A and B are shown apart, each in its own frame.
Chain A
């Protein structure tokens, strides 16, 4: 049952990805100007030779449907095109940068959910308490602060005032060649500020959401039943209530994943984090379209995967969905 659900979900994800590929294809052709010139990019040194190369590679002299077919089958074989600026296959470029982005995004997601939900649960116990007020205020502020600006402010704070965390890049040059654990620790050290920056906005939102969701759940009949059994306050909050309050939180966590990737784009730029966001920024400045499209494709694939994981965990969390 669950396997067929997973297969159905994967198939649907595949269709979405084909959609992204078609969209990429159409965008290049919708852009003003000669597609070959567009693909070559402004900085690519669009010599006649390169343009001719592109026209054969992409079949630009053939009918549109054939071009689409060439493009899709290329992507299916892992060929996302050639970056004329970096002079490398796009797939290679992305492969080098996908792990840092995943590391950043997942760390931020976990941090924001764990801390945010914890704060929200505690705040829900006293709807008019100090912590509740604090959560509301922080959520309102956190929502209004541009994430890149938070990052820059943290750089000021940690670069000049309390220099305990590195503010640039992912690794220290001097540790090249050190043992794995030393390097891993170094990466974690570099990860603190970017992940915190990215987590801060969502943390506040999760706190507000889980507070509201918990307050909703805490008023329900089955919580009263749990009290009538003699269950303790902690069991009521973290066992009886949170399992139910987690459902809307999960939904939002899934929907936020795309926004998180967008945020990562900005944060990577601020902290020089060598991920896909940084790559997107560099390639957009150079109008390196194959790379931009590759990043868009890959980032969308990450969202699709995240959605599938969300759906699965939702079904795990809510027994009412299992039979369906």
Chain B
């Protein structure tokens, strides 16, 4: 499938979800379980992307101090925890990776 078809389908699905209940007003209630589940979508999806990005190296699991991306990611986690600032987190993680690559 080419990128334009992917974007069109993704866009249509997203639009349908945005319009869903505004359009169906009052005809349906969201089930409690579904409402509860939505809160966990961001932490689950985002972590499922972040873990392999930091810990997989050339198709192999690499949880060692020699893994610069894992160390830089840990620094980003600490920065995010203490500052809650997206831009600072990216800058700290990126600076850490560049520095580690320079040293290593």
A binds B: no
CB within 8 Å of A: which residues of B? none
CB within 8 Å of B: which residues of A? none
